[in-house]
Amino acid sequence: MRSVEPVVHLTVLEDILRIPRASSLMVLTFGLACCAIEMMAAGAAKFDWGRFGVIPRSTPRQSDLMIIAGTISRKMAPTVVTLWEQMAAPKWVIAMGNCAISGGPFAHESQYAILNGADEIVPVDVYVPGCPPRPEGLIQGILAVQDKITGGQKNNVLRRFDRRRGDKRDFVKRIKRID
């Protein structure tokens, strides 16, 4: 199939529309294994992913971010693909935990029932390593998806600090200026 270039490019409008898209991620909530407990903790009061614009949804038709949390068995793989296909575009995937990334401790030559990573069945945008990964890691993965949506950290106006430049004292000076 041949792709056709648009006659008018609306890049400024597209850049503006990326900001609300990144700040209101609707997450498909389903857990496949023990990593789901850490995903639930990321949404609880201590970590509260709602502060970062994450809204949990229980239906794929209203979701734009799928978090694959845990081991994917070959029996569960068609269901994961069906959920992925039911999500509206644009859509993103976070593979959370070693089992979702590479099969984890179940990956060996004689195993037949576990997939060796979610990227075998759906395209994965961000990998969050760990067994199980901490809720802070998942939140950092969500921030990475937001950076990907807005076109990088420099374009992401949702961030209030720069992770790459400056030292701790510079950060303290900025906090004092805000107060």
Within-domain flag for 4:
no
Within-domain flag for 5:
no
Q: List CB contacts of 157: < 8 A, sequence separation 6 or more.
A: 19, 150
At 145-161, the pLDDT tens digits run: 988 888 775 655 555 44
For residue 18, name the pLDDT band (cuts at 50, 70, 90). confident
Phi, psi of 99 (to 5 degrees): -70, -40
Within-domain flag for 100:
yes
Mean pLDDT of the chain: 83
Q: Which domain holds residue 43?
A: 11-178
Domain count, the chain: 1
Within-domain flag for 2:
no
Within-domain flag for 114:
yes
At 89-136, the pLDDT tens digits run: 889 999 999 999 998 888 888 888 999 999 999 999 999 999 889 999
Residue 166 clears pLDDT 60, i.e. is over it? no
Q: Write down the pTM of the prediction.
A: 0.78
Within-domain flag for 145:
yes
Within-domain flag for 90:
yes
Query: Which of left, alpha, beta for 147 (phi over 0: left; psi -120 to 50: alpha)?
Result: alpha
Within-domain flag for 138:
yes
The CATH number of the domain holding residue 16 is: 3.40.50.12280
